[in-house]
Every structure is written in C-alpha cells, then in structure tokens.
Homo-oligomer: A and B are copies of this chain.
C-alpha cells in the first residue's frame, strides 16, 4: 500500500445503511452450475478414472492410486517435527475435552399414563471430511472434524484432501487424522472429491454427510450434494471477525485480531464495532504498524479495503447491529463481558476479554472452528458433537395408555380426514 491505511467508519448508521453493511458476498455463483453439473456427471459415470483425470488437470499430478498406503502414511508422520506433534497433541486434548461435554443424556418421559417417549442418539455411520490443500495444510480442521466424529463413534470416517504437485499429503494432516482414528485418507480435492463422496466410486465410499471448508467450487458442490440427499455441515462463505471494543480495549490487540482475519483471503470480512469515537484512528495506526511485518501483507491489505468500523452511542445499539450482522467470530474486547453476553443473540463463537484472541478458538481452546458464516449464525450454530449424531424418537404405549390416548388420536385423525389413521387406533381399541 502506498498511503497509510485508514479503516472506513460509520457513526450511528441508519437502518438502510445497516442493511447494506451487513450484506456478505454471495457464496456461490450461477456460472459454477455448469461446472458442477459436468463434474458430478463425469464422476458418476466414470468413477475413479474421472477422479484421476481431474486430479491431473487441477492438482498437476498423475496418480495411479487415490489411496494412501500405510508405508507412505507412517513414513510421512515420522518426519513431523516434535514441537508440531506436541502442539497437535495439546490441541487434540482440549478439543476432545470440550466436545465431550456435549454428550447429554435425555430422560424418558411418560407424557400420558402408559405413554413412554424418549430420544436416543446414534452416530451417523458414514461421514466424509474434506480438508482443503494449497500452500498451507489445514491440519487444524482435521482435528475440528475428526475429534467429534471420533467421540460420536461414526463407523466409517473418510478424509479427502488434494495432493501436492509431488503427489503427497502434508504429514501434519496425516498425523492429525491418525490421532482421530481416521483410517482412510484419499488424495483427492475439489468438486470431484465431493461428487465422489456423494456417488461412491471403486476407491471412494459414498457417505451420508460431508463436512469441511473449501473454495467456491467445493462449496457449490456441497450445496449440490445437499439437493441429492447427502447432508452437509454448513455452507461455508468467506471467514469473518467482528470485534466489539469499549474503553477497556487495547488497540494493539484489536489490530492484531483484525489482521489475523484479514490474512485468510482478500474476501475475508473484518468489522470493528465500538462505542469509542477515537478508537478507529488509533486502531488504523496500529494496523499500519503491524501490517508491514506480515508475510501475507498483500492479502490482508486487500481484505482491509472492504473492512469497516461502526461507532454507536450505546452498547445496546452496538449489539443490535452485531445481532443483525451475526458474525462467525465475535471478539468482546471489554472487561465488562458479563453484561454483554446476555445481549448476544446471533454469533458463531465468542471470544471474551482482552486475553482471548480468535486464534485460540481457531486452534486450541477446545471450541470448534467450523462455524456459520454469511449471517447463517442467525439460524445455526457451528459444528459440534451434535453434527455427527442424529436423534431418533421412540414411543411405547401400553394397553392402558392407548385406552386413554386413543380417542384423542381418533378425533384428530377424523378431522384431518385420515380415516385409515383413525382405523389403526380403533382396530387396536376393539382388541383391548
């Protein structure tokens, strides 16, 4: 950047402006439809052959096998540095500890005398994890998806990730997968990986639910998978942070949090909300200071071009905006968080106080980093143990219970003009 960066800011934006400010870039574009059509048709028709051809075209490597042998796997894992191994171990333990709190027993209940109702959780049997490739290996995402799958007890967990140009998978991905008990890792990326997990091929088994982030092709493919009856975790748009800062905030910390989000990609969403008039200028200055030292300064600078700040008179107005925005990550740079938490209606994950950077949740505090973007936090939470199980309802009615409940069912069924429904109760009552 030639001239110093200065964060755009809006003071007390009116509702029309707020409506515009909370908009996010679209998650998919119509022009991807025909690409996705083609990839899905090809994979369905030609299976592994199609996968090997796409991998050659997009990843620049002609593989003979999408599978990773044990020798290759354990050889790679051996090369991993001890500090990285122990950091992954530490993150794994925290993620495991937190997700285990999500195992909850529901009690059976007698809704009417003789009418027992309850739910039981069952692991989703077959799940597929997609891990993006590229320059940086997202081994942290392996933990975020692999740990809850392991706790849930999913029977078949597979992992697809694009190979490097040398045909290898980064050892940290393999080590994280190994810790999570994932036996099958495939060298396969892009929309073709999603199509393979939908239809199944000789090598890649079809799954019931697909998890994991990816580029716009992967996202479009996951949305397609959903229309074909395969569940997905969340539609993933560009990553977002919204920092709320009051007078107790530290500007250098805030700047570092905004930059951490900005370095993800030019489309990263970076927002500062504050009750302090003078904060925007000091944060801008800090961003300039810190930006220079970053290897991904160009990416961060591009994202900061569409970043902005909003200044509100009160915390109540600030949180009205925040809830309408519904950020993926919400940082509370405040020493008064106890009064703020009840104001939060919509957010993916919340980072409380000056000593809780978003990176903590990205990697190692224990919470999940697969979170709702693009305002989807208005309707949905992030990935959790719940994402890997489904709950089946059960009911068991005794003769006495049916005697009591039967007339109600018959009255309701008759009024919905479903006489066979009424009859299935009547015929039992006649036999009591």
Q: Which residues of A contact B (CB under 8 A)?
A: 27-28, 83-84, 87-88, 90-91, 93-94, 97-98, 101-102, 104, 106-107, 109, 111-112, 115, 117-120, 122, 124-126, 135-140, 172, 208-209, 223, 226-227, 229-231, 235, 250, 252-253, 256-257, 259-260, 262-264, 290, 293-296, 300, 323, 337, 341, 344-368, 372, 374-382, 384, 386, 390-399, 401-402, 405, 407-409, 411-413, 415-425, 427-428, 431
Contacts and interface: CB of A to CB of B under 8 A. Distances in A.
Nearest to A382: B393
A420 B364 contact: no
Of A109, A294, A372, most B-chain CB atoms within 10 Å:
A109
A336 to B, nearest CB: 13
Nearest to A97: B111
Nearest to A414: B84
29 contacts: A83-B411, A90-B405, A90-B408, A97-B109, A98-B109, A102-B106, A112-B365, A112-B366, A140-B416, A253-B424, A259-B423, A260-B420, A260-B424, A262-B420, A263-B421, A294-B419, A294-B420, A349-B392, A352-B394, A352-B396, A353-B396, A360-B405, A363-B412, A365-B397, A367-B393, A372-B390, A379-B390, A380-B390, A384-B391
A335 to B, nearest CB: 11
Nearest to A391: B381
A66 B3 CA distance: 55
Contacts of A235: 227, 229
A199 B354 CA distance: 38
Contacts of A106: 101-102, 104
A420 B361 contact: no
A234 B301 CA distance: 41
A319 B367 CA distance: 36
B365 A231 contact: no
Interface centre among A107, A290, A424 (most CB of B within 10 A): A424
Contacts of A102: 106, 119
Nearest to A345: B122
A395 B300 contact: no
* Copy total for this chain: 2
A225 to B, nearest CB: 11
A345 B417 contact: no
Contacts of A416: 136-140
A267 to B, nearest CB: 16
Nearest to A104: B104
A295 B408 contact: no
A359 B428 CA distance: 12
A60 to B, nearest CB: 20
Contacts of A137: 415-416
A87 B421 contact: no
Most chain-B Cβ atoms within 10 A of its Cβ — which of A112, A264, A353, A422?
A112
B94 A413 contact: no
A161 to B, nearest CB: 14
A379 B231 contact: yes
Nearest to A94: B111
Given A98-B111, A398-B355, A428-B354, A231 B368 contact: no
A260 B393 contact: no
Nearest to A362: B421
Nearest to A123: B345
A257 B424 CA distance: 6
